[in-house]
Amino acid sequence: MHKFLTRSAACALLFAAVGASARDAVDGDRLVVKPFKNDTFQTGDYRFGKGELWGYVGDLKESKKIKGVLLRDGGKATDEQKHIVATIAQAQQIDAMIELDGQQQPLVDPKPAAAPAEAAAPAATQ
């Protein structure tokens, strides 16, 4: 049991040291993310998939009070990557921006949510 606790404490210290040395890519009040291969993202020293980015943005919203996400190099991003960033920002209730040709502009979701189906007509009785 003592070895387990010692190893657990050592791992916790290691993770804390790595976390302290890694840099977040926060510019002002926005997290800067860049498109990476296979619909993943790079931010600072980290690379994330969709789920990890979701959690990371939520954590930074709480801890660093970010108010938006900037998709840098937006011209290299796939429609799926743009959709992921837009969806995460909408769910976290923060701004989504994209950088195209050096200009920042609001990110418009290329795959908007499908409109809700119209209410089905009541079935005719016979």
The tens digit of pLDDT for each residue in 5-27 reads 566 555 454 455 444 444 678 98
- The predicted model scores a pTM of 0.71
If we measure between CA atoms, which residue out of 47, 43, 58, 51 comes closest to residue 89? 58
- Distance of alpha carbon 126 from alpha carbon 41, whole angstroms: 57
Calculate the average pLDDT of the chain: 82
Condensed to tens digits (0 to 9), the pLDDT of residues 81-90 reads 999 999 999 9
If we measure between CA atoms, which residue out of 24, 48, 34 comes closest to residue 78? 34
First to last CA, the chain: 73
The residues spanned by each domain of the chain are 23-106
Residue-level pLDDT at 82:
96
C-alpha torsion sign, points 5, 9, 12, 14? negative
Condensed to tens digits (0 to 9), the pLDDT of residues 56-68 reads 999 999 999 999 9
> What's the Cα-to-Cα distance from 105 to each of 22, 61, 70, 95, rounded to whole Å?
28, 21, 9, 11
- Number of neighbouring beta carbons within 10 Å of residue 49: 13
